[in-house]
Amino acid sequence: MEYSNGNVFQLVVKQGEPTLVPPAEETEKGLYFLSNLDQNIAVIVRTIYCFKSEEKGNENAGEVIKNALKKVLVHYYPLAGRLTISSEAKLIINCTGEGAVFVEAEANCALEEIGDITKPDPDTLGKLVYDIPGAKNILEMPPLVAQVTKFTCGGFALGLCMNHCMFDGIGAMEFVNSWGETARGLPLCVPPFIDRSILKARNPPKIEYPHQEFAEIKDKSSTNDLYKDEMLYSSFCFDSEMLEKIKMKAMEDGVLGKCTTFEGLSAFVWRARTKALKMLPDQQTKLLFAVDGRPKFKPPLPKGYFGNGIVLTNSMCQAGELLDRPLSHAVGLVQDAIKMVTDSYMRSAMDYFEATRVRPSLASTLLITTWSRLSFYTTDFGWGEPVLSGPVALPEKEVILFLSHGKERKSINVLLGLPALAMKTFQEMIQI
């Protein structure tokens, strides 16, 4: 962030000593099963929530949040354990009850001075989450690490470092909201459903679909060479008017009966990014995105399911076909990918992992992650809802993030990283 006098602002955060926060009561010990949907996405996700209240300062923010964490971990006890490898060479939680890692910190400025946190800025925002020193892999990182940073204005930030194998966006949102309810002395609105064995793979595995999400695509276009250039991270705001225009453009040739915001925007950015990365016409390109499987399983997953209920679906086509044909064609591909997700498809995907142990490939791929439907902005620890919340960084260069934006949540912020030259083309492509 630059000031008008040209001085670049430097956030300085003084971190205290990390402490362990175990559950407030004795909890179940032993090994805790993680499903194949959990195994697939064991990446660390860092998020930040900023709070500021006119009524009360931040003096006891750390204490309140830490005490509530002890209590909420009684319900979510696997988060107090540690990741390990099972006898089947898979990730599993050892419920040791040793606790989550908690750090209190102080910043040298007011909350407003850190700028726009809706845009990933690992250098600045990274100081608001605690990274375990010397951790070489996820097994050396506790599933939950929390940092409360107090600002000079009376506001504070809660920075969380969580392993995606513990939960997807919906599960994480339910956990953080439960933590907030506990801090306010309220019972849990959605108690967690702990048993993940309801998503065990079938024995023997039954693979019924050609799971292209795992397919490795050959990089004919030498896209990887582009990435040697400087990476730029940008966020583009699509307001309701622009989103409406995209949907109208997708519908104008009469091919589609309907088009949702997600379908239209996904197809739109898939095309723009493909063009920006100068993919050759015969280059295969893949779109991956997560679909919430909770309501699609038979029977549906129980309310409060603690774990990943999302399944990656995909669409593949040649870059030339994607760009030469109208937007309605790309939207149709997205719609087909959504329709593909049924109970049998999801169980087949879990069995595919069981049999092959391969993870989805990101070669020549765009992975869209949607946070625009998650109500992280409702979290309240007693200081009201967050004034800002967002991710610290994008997990991989192939990922684009959709975040809801504005008071009405009608706009969508599209966050992405591209090589500098490609970002210029992307910017031109999305003018509508």
The answer to whether the Cα torsion of 423, 426, 431, 432 is positive or negative is negative
The one catalytic residue in 164, 211, 329, 405 is 164
The one catalytic residue in 219, 239, 292, 380 is 380
Residue 245 · residue 432 · CB < 8 Å: yes
Residue 396 to residue 418: CA distance in whole angstroms: 11
Assigned token pair, 119: 């845009």
211 is catalytic: no
164 is catalytic: yes
Element (H, E) at 312: strand 310-318
The answer to whether the Cα torsion of 105, 126, 137, 349 is positive or negative is positive
Q: Using DSSP, state whether 45 is helix, strand or coil.
A: strand
Residue 276, classified by CB atoms within 10 Å of its CB into exposed (0-12), middle (13-18) or buried (19+), is buried
Assigned token pair, 318: 């040649």
Residue 123 · residue 94 · CB < 8 Å: no
Pairing, β 411-419 against β 231-238: antiparallel
Assigned token pair, 49: 């929530």
Q: How far is CA 315 from CA 267, 269, 274, in A?
A: 11, 14, 14
What count of residues does the chain have? 432
75-100 burial, b for 16+ CB within 10 Å, e for fewer? bbbbbbbbbeeeeeebbbbbbebebb
Residue 327 to residue 266: CA distance in whole angstroms: 11
Q: How far is CA 291 from CA 108, 111, 237, 294, in A?
A: 41, 35, 23, 9
Give the other-Cβ count within 10 Å of 266's Cβ.
Answer: 26
247-253: long-range contacts at Cβ-Cβ below 8 A with a sequence spacing of 24 or more?
249/327, 249/432, 250/327, 250/328, 250/331, 251/328, 252/328, 253/326, 253/328
Residue 213 · residue 314 · CB < 8 Å: yes
Q: What DSSP string runs through 244-310?
A: HHHHHHHHTTS--S---HHHHHHHHHHHHHHHHTT--TT-EEEEEEEEE-TTTSSSPPPTTB-S--E
Give the active site residues: 164, 380
